Amino acid sequence: MPRHDLHSTRDRLRQGLSSAGDELGAAKAAAHSGACTHVFLKTRFDAAAGEAQGAAPDAPLAGLPVSIKDLFDFAGDVTTGGSVALVAAAPASADAPSVARLRAAGGVVVGRTNMSEFAFSGVGINPHYGTPPNPCDTKTPRIPGGSSSGAAVSVATGASFIGLGSDTGGSIRIPAALCGIVGFKNTARLTQLEGAYPLSTTLDTVCAMTRSVRDAVLAHEILAARQIARADKPLSAYRLAVAQTQMLDGLDATVARAFERALATLRATGARIDEIPLAQIQDLGAIQSTGGFAAAESYAWHRQLLAKEGTRYDPRVRMRIERGANMKAWEYIDLHRTRAAWIAAVEQALAGYDAVLSPTVPMVAPAIAELAPGAPRDEAFFRTNALLLRNPSVVNMLDGCALSLPCQSPDELPVGLMLWHGALHDDTILNLSLQVEKLLSSALPN
C-alpha cells in the first residue's frame, strides 16, 4: 500500500514537498499499471489535471484524487452499475450528492471504478469487465472482495485517496478487509442515497474506503456534512465485547491468528474486553427465511429492465434478484416488523458496551480462478459469498455502523478487524478506531 495517506499528503503539499499535480501524476501511473487491471471502467485524468490545478490548497481534499464506484451518477457520464445492460442509458444530468460533496471539498474525480454487477455480491467478480486482482498478492490473482471491488483496489494501489462506494451487506468492509485498507460503514441515514442505483433501499449505505482511520473520519465528515464529536478517552475507558455467536465460526488460520493477536495487544494496553454470547445473531436466518430485503427490493427496481435486458445480466446476479419475485407482501411487511424487534433485542444485549470486536470476514482472499464465472464453480462462489457477507451483514440488519481496519502482520495476507455497534454510534466507533489502529500498528514488527 502507498506510504502516505491523505492527511500526510496534505502536509506534504503545505510544506512544498509535493503538489496536487504531482499526486495526480502518481495516481495516473498507478491507474495505468498492471496492479489496476480491470479497476477503472473509465478514467478522466486530462480533465482532472485542470481541476487539480484549480483546487484550493486549503480545501479538505486539496485537489487530491478520489474514485467513484460505477453505482453513482457523475454529470455527463452513463452510470452502468457494472453491467452491460445499461450501457445505452442516458448520461447523468447531475452529480450524485455524495460525489458533489467530495468535489466541493476539493476532491478530483479520476474515474469510475469496477464493481460486482448492480452491487449484488461480496466477492467482487465481474464477468463483463473483468475482475480487479487484489494487490496483496502479485503471484496468485486473488479476489478483491465486493461489491466495491475497483474502489478498494484504487485506494490500495495509490490510484486514489478515497474510494466512494456503498455497503448493503458488507460491500465496503469486505473489500477493505481483503485488500488491507480501511472501510467505514456509517449509520445509513447519515449519508444521502440519491444519485445511486439501489440494491436494497432498506439496507444501502453510501460510504467510502481510505488508507487510514483518520482519512475515514475526514471522508465521513465530508459525505455526511457533519463533524464527529472528538473524544480523548484512554482505551481503558471503553467497554468492549467479542460476540461469540457465529462471528468466530470457521475462521481460517491466518484470520484466527491475527484476531487473537489484536485482542491480546488491546488487552495488554488496558482494554476491557468481555466475551458475550449475543445469541440474537443466530435468529437472523429465520428472520430472513422468506427472502430478505435485497432480493425483494432489487427485484422491484430491476423487474422492467430484466424483461428487456435480462439475458445480458451476470447469471449469478440475475438469479439472486429474481428470487425477490416470490416474496409476498405480507412477508415483506413482517420482515420489517421482525427486524425492528430484533434490533431492539440486540441493542438491549449491547447496553453498556461501546463497541463489539469481530473479524470482518472469516477468510483471507481466495484465488479468482476458484470462483470465476462458470457452472462448475458456482457452488464455491455462493458458499464464499455467504461467508464473506456473514459477519458484516449483521451490522446492516442492525441499522448500525462499523469500521474495518487491517490487523495482519507484514508477512500475512490482509485481515480485517471490525469494530461495530448499533445506529448512531458512529462517533464512538471512529474515535475508538483511531486508538486501535495506532496500537495495532505500533505492536507490529518493523
pLDDT tens across 49-105, in order? 999 999 999 999 999 999 999 999 999 999 999 999 999 999 999 999 999 999 999
Residues annotated catalytic, as ranges = 69, 147, 171
Question: How confident is residue 240, by pLDDT bands cut at 50, 70 and 90?
Answer: very high
Number of H helices, E strands in the chain: 14, 11
In this structure, are residues 446 and 411 in contact, taking their beta carbons and an 8 Å threshold?
Answer: no
> Residue 375: its pLDDT value, please?
78
With a CB cutoff of 8 Å and minimum separation 6, the contacts of 180 are 1, 136, 156, 406, 408, 414
pLDDT digits (tens, 9 = 90+) for 343-367: 999 999 999 999 999 999 999 999 9
pLDDT for 446 = 54
Encode pLDDT of 198-214 as tens digits.
Answer: 999 999 999 999 999 99
Region 26-55: mean pLDDT is 98
CA distance 416 to 258: 9
How does pLDDT run across 137-153, given as a tens digit for each residue? 999 999 999 999 999 99
Q: What is the pLDDT of residue 150?
A: 98
Model-wide pTM > 0.85? yes
CB 119 within 8 A of CB 81: yes
- Rounded-to-integer distance, Cα 90 and Cα 76, Å: 9
d(CA 340, CA 187): 15
Helix (H, G, I), strand (E, B) or coil at 62: coil
